[in-house]
Amino acid sequence: MHPAALALLVVLSLGVAGYALGVYGFLPLGEAVHPDMRASFATHRNVVYVHVFASAVALVLGPLQFWSRLRTARPGLHRWSGRFYLGVGILLGGLAGLFMAFHAAGGRGSRLGFACLALAWLFTGLRAYRAIRARDVAVHRRWMIRNFALTFAAVTLRLWLPASLASGIPFEVAYPVVAWLCWVPNVLAAELLLNRTHDPSLGRRTAGKSPRRQT
């Protein structure tokens, strides 16, 4: 990945993780969110804390996993950090996020949007894990790119939502749309990247070579 793009990923991811840790670590629950969200958070406080803190692990560790120099120099660190990313961030954060999706503010549209995001997050994480257990590094990398594009929904949601509110769209209208907008374009961008890249470590077929099934 281009160093400038990686730097931007790191800054935005750490910014949102820092927001989550600061607000949920030090302020009363739901202090910084819309009153509709605060009311639902009160009914499942522990799940909210599990989701916020576990998912923050994914945001902090995710960009590190794409840092190729670190991966080459410290493969052991990459493996351990990957285990935390998948086991704590995705599995724990994703299951808690899936539970919260059924209670999300904004009605059926946002509940479905967040539930699909959680399922896609868990699914891509599982595929990445299974690929690396099978020692298929290229396929593992492809699924990790898709998975992190979904993790990054935590960042894009916090760009789309304030932008929508600042442009005068009421929360009730904006939120169900943002529940989809925060992740669908990310997945499309990841697919575009995977299809256009010429990085051999992602297992792209080159012209003339025998076709090999890729996922």
| 100 touching ligand HEM, by CB under 6 A | yes
State the minimum distance, in angstroms, from the CB of residue 209 to ligand HEM: 35
CB environment 132-150: b (16+ within 10 A), e (fewer): beeeeeebbbbbbbbbbbb
Q: Tell me whether residue 27 or residue 137 sits nearer to ligand HEM (CB atom).
A: 27
Residues 139-168 that bind ligand HEM (CB under 6 A): 150-151, 153-154
* Among 85, 121, 143, 148, contact with ligand HEM (rule: CB under 6 A): 121
Residue 78, C-beta contacts closer than 8 angstroms, at least 6 positions apart:
65, 70, 71
61 lies in the binding site for ligand HEM (CB under 6 A): no
Question: Which of 189, 1, 50 lies closest to 10 in space, CA to CA?
Answer: 1
Minimum CB–partner distance for residue 142 and ligand HEM (Å): 18
Nearest to 183 by CA among 138, 137, 123, 127: 123
DSSP 3-state percent helix, strand, coil across the chain (nearest 5) = 80, 0, 20
The Cα–Cα gap between 41 and 47 comes to 9
Taking the least distance from each CB to ligand HEM, the nearer of 117 and 132 is 117
**Candidate residues 9, 12, 58, 144; the one interacting with ligand HEM per rule CB under 6 A:** 58
Residue ranges in contact with ligand HEM by CB under 6 A:
16-17, 20, 32-33, 37, 40, 51-52, 55-56, 58-59, 97, 100-101, 104-105, 114, 117-118, 121, 150-151, 153-154
